[in-house]
A and B are shown apart, each in its own frame.
Chain A
Amino acid sequence: NAGVTQTPKFQVLKTGQSMTLQCAQDMNHNSMYWYRQDPGMGLRLIYYSASEGTTDKGEVPNGYNVSRLNKREFSLRLESAAPSQTSVYFCASSESGNHYEQYFGPGTRLTVT
């Protein structure tokens, strides 16, 4: 099992450009998440999807959109990148329920200039 995979690993964008971060999991999990990690701030939830066909906002959704393409895939889109979106982005998945751990991908390091 590959677990959670993310592409790309690194990306540099200019202000105003758009891009989509891809995430896929092969563990048959219902729930998937997108986080951003900034120095000194831990991880903050951007969006999540509790099941195929549903998405909801997390703590910091502004400037982002998501698509739950199917049970395996959950993409994050930046329509018009801003320097404040420079961060490391992590995708995660889990079974449903609060006792279950989340499994994380390796991350995408995004720099917006």
Chain B
Amino acid sequence: GNSVTQMEGPVTLSEEAFLTINCTYTATGYPSLFWYVQYPGEGLQLLLKATKADDKGSNKGFEATYRKETTSFHLEKGSVQVSDSAVYFCALTYNNNDMRFGAGTRLTVKP
């Protein structure tokens, strides 16, 4: 079945460091791919998305490219801030009734 695997955390970085959180997926066809972010005590918020191969989603300095050849959607940011500390979830869906989430990666950014 469809599934998402993302790198385990926690990830701890210093401010201004480069961030990569790996995400790979297993699916037939062409799912849509998402990154959600969850700040402490809150629900998930969409960070970025890509709906077809080679699309790049971007928002707030974060980027991810939909790579069908490697079935990946890795999240990157060039310079993280303390305010980026949160849990990040990779997700995929063929239709919105079946969105599959990864286990989440907790990021802590230290000043």
Contact = CB atoms under 8 A, between A and B. Distances in A.
A25 interface: no
A35 B101 CA distance: 11
Given A90-B44, A105-B43, A43 B31 contact: no
Please classify how large the interface on chain B is, using the bins under 10, 10 to 19, 20 to 34, 35 or more. Answer: 20 to 34
B49 interface: yes
Contact of A48 (B32, B45, B94, B97): B97
Interface string A29-71: 0010100000011111100101000001010000000000000
Contacts, number: 60
A42 B95 contact: no
A104 interface: yes
A interface SS class: loop
A95 B96 CA distance: 8
B89 A94 contact: no
A42 B31 contact: no
A100 B96 contact: yes
B101 A31 contact: no
A97 B46 CA distance: 16
18 contacts: A40-B103, A41-B103, A42-B89, A42-B102, A43-B89, A45-B98, A48-B97, A90-B43, A90-B44, A92-B43, A92-B44, A98-B31, A98-B32, A98-B95, A101-B34, A101-B49, A106-B43, A107-B43
